[in-house]
Amino acid sequence: MWGPLGAWVYDRTLSRAEETCLADWRRALLENAHGDVLEIGAGTGANLAHYPPAVRRLVLAEPDAGMRSRLKRKVGERPEVTVVDATAEAIPLPDRAFDVVVSTLVLCSVESPGRSLAEVWRVLRPGGTLLFLEHVAAELPGRLRWQRVLEPGWRFMAGNCHLTRRTEDAIAEMGFALEDVRRESIRKVAGVVRPSVRGVARKS
């Protein structure tokens, strides 16, 4: 878990990547957000500035107290936004309550991607979408080897962040139809977290 210091370090560590590419990717992805939206693992609120006016209600779920406290400060007084203490594996919200679920750099860190995606599926309305941006296992064998070697220590230091998850496959296996998928290297971060995938996953 992150705690207050970890949350501060997280923001500092990602700041150059945000300037170079991540903020643009977040903005483009979140242009698809509308209606009732749930964000899982909302962290310190890096996506907040990018939600369009078409979002009517925004629920930000974040289980880590340090992250949540920075998140609440960033939200301030916005009546359409609620912050809740919840993991993606146990979302304390009703079935089919959301048009859109957002997950950015989260499915690497959850205990169970399968249970998390099952919860995302449950809370989405039919036709609803999961907007995702995740770092994943490398396609290059050399880089994948390094990811495997470094993964145990990385998980320990970076809030259970796994380096070798095949998140796109896990999303497809849950039954989502993948649209507009892009694979790109995240710039200005360590080589082992550069491979990324982002896109829209639709619940039938």
Ligand X SMILES: C[S@@+](CC[C@H](N)C(=O)[O-])C[C@H]1O[C@@H](n2cnc3c(N)ncnc32)[C@H](O)[C@@H]1O
Q: Which is nearer to ligand X, 106 or 124 (CB)?
A: 106
d(CA 62, CA 88): 9
- Of the pair 67, 186, the CB lying nearest ligand X is at 67
Q: Which is nearer to ligand X, 2 or 98 (CB)?
A: 2
Residue nearest to ligand X (CB): 43
- Pick between residue 66 and residue 128 the one whose CB is nearest to ligand X: 66
CB of 61 to ligand X, least distance (A): 7
Q: Which is nearer to ligand X, 24 or 177 (CB)?
A: 24
List residues binding ligand X (CB under 6 A): 2, 40-43, 46, 62-64, 67, 87-89, 104-106, 109-111, 159
Could you tell me the smallest distance in angstroms from the CB atom of residue 141 to ligand X?
A: 25
**Burial of residue 204 (number of CB atoms within 10 Å: 0-12, 13-18, 19+):** exposed
For the bound state, the minimum distance from the C-beta of residue 10 to ligand X, rounded and expressed in Å, comes to 6
Closest distance of CB 16 from ligand X, Å:
14
